[in-house]
Structure 1
Amino acid sequence: MGLRIINRRPGRGSALFWGALPFLAVLALYLVFSTLRLAENPNDKLLPALSTIADTVGRLAFSFDQRTGQILLWADSAASLSRLGYGLAVSAAIGLVVGIGSGLVPFIRAGLAPSIAVVSLIPPMALLPILFISFGLGELSKVVLIVVGVAPFLVRDLAMRVEAIPAELIIKAQTLGASTWQIVTRLVLPTMLPKLIDALRLSLGPAWLFLISAEAIAAQDGLGYRIFLVRRYLAMDVILPYVAWITLLAFLMDWGLRTLNRRISPWLTRGAA
Structure 2
Amino acid sequence: MPTPPKFLGIHASPPNWLRWLLTIIPFALLVIIYALASDTRQRENPSDKLLPTASKMYDAMQRAAFEENARTGEYQLWTDTGASLRRIGIGLGIAALCGLLCGLNLGIFIGMEHLFLPFVTFVSIIPPLAVLPILFIVFGVDELAKVVLIFIGTFPLITRDIQLTVKKIPREQIIKACTLGASQTSLAYRIVLPQIMPRLIETVRINMGPAWLFLIAAEAIAATNGLGYRIFLVRRYLAMDLIIPYVLWIVLIGAVVDSVLRLILRTRYAWYLESQE
Do the structures match in fold with TM over 0.5? Answer: yes
Residue 228 of structure 2 aligns with which residue?
224
Where structure 1 has 5 or more consecutive residues not aligned to the other structure, the ranges are none
Question: 2:205 aligned to 179, 201, 204, which one?
Answer: 201
| Residue 68 of structure 1 pairs with residue 43 of structure 2 | no
Residue 160 of structure 1 aligns with which residue?
164
**Separation in 2, partners of 1:24, 1:149:** 34
Q: Trace 1:172-183 onto structure 2 (pairs within 5 A).
A: 172-183=176-187
CA contact (8 A) 1:124 1:145 kept: yes
* Superposition deviation, residue 8 in structure 1: 3.8
Three-state SS of the structure 2 residue aligned to 1:227 is helix
* Superposition deviation, residue 272 in structure 1: 6.3
Three-state SS of the structure 2 residue aligned to 1:43 is coil
* Superposition deviation, residue 86 in structure 1: 0.2
**Separation in 2, partners of 1:208, 1:165:** 31
Question: 1:119 aligned to 120, 123, 129, which one?
Answer: 123
Q: Structure 1, residues 135-179: CA drift from partner, whole Å, max 9, x if none?
A: 111101000000000000000111111111111000000000000
**Separation in 1, partners of 2:35, 2:71:** 33
Superposed CA RMSD: 1.4
Three-state SS of the structure 2 residue aligned to 1:84 is helix
What code does the residue aligned with 1:27 have?
Answer: V
| Residue 59 of structure 1 pairs with residue 63 of structure 2 | yes
Q: Percent identity?
A: 47
TM-score by length of 2: 0.95
Three-state SS of the structure 1 residue aligned to 2:133 is helix
Q: Trace 1:1-273 onto structure 2 (pairs within 5 A).
A: 1-4=2-5, 5-270=9-274
**Separation in 1, partners of 2:14, 2:253:** 27
CA contact (8 A) 2:4 2:13 kept: no
Number of residue pairs matched?
A: 273
* Superposition deviation, residue 3 in structure 1: 1.9
Greater CA deviation, 33-42 or 139-148?
Answer: 33-42
**Separation in 2, partners of 1:218, 1:211:** 11
What code does the residue aligned with 1:91 have?
Answer: A
TM-score by length of 1: 0.97
* Superposition deviation, residue 269 in structure 1: 1.4
* Superposition deviation, residue 90 in structure 1: 0.3
Three-state SS of the structure 2 residue aligned to 1:33 is helix
CA contact (8 A) 1:103 1:159 kept: yes
**Separation in 1, partners of 2:174, 2:260:** 32
**Separation in 1, partners of 2:89, 2:274:** 27
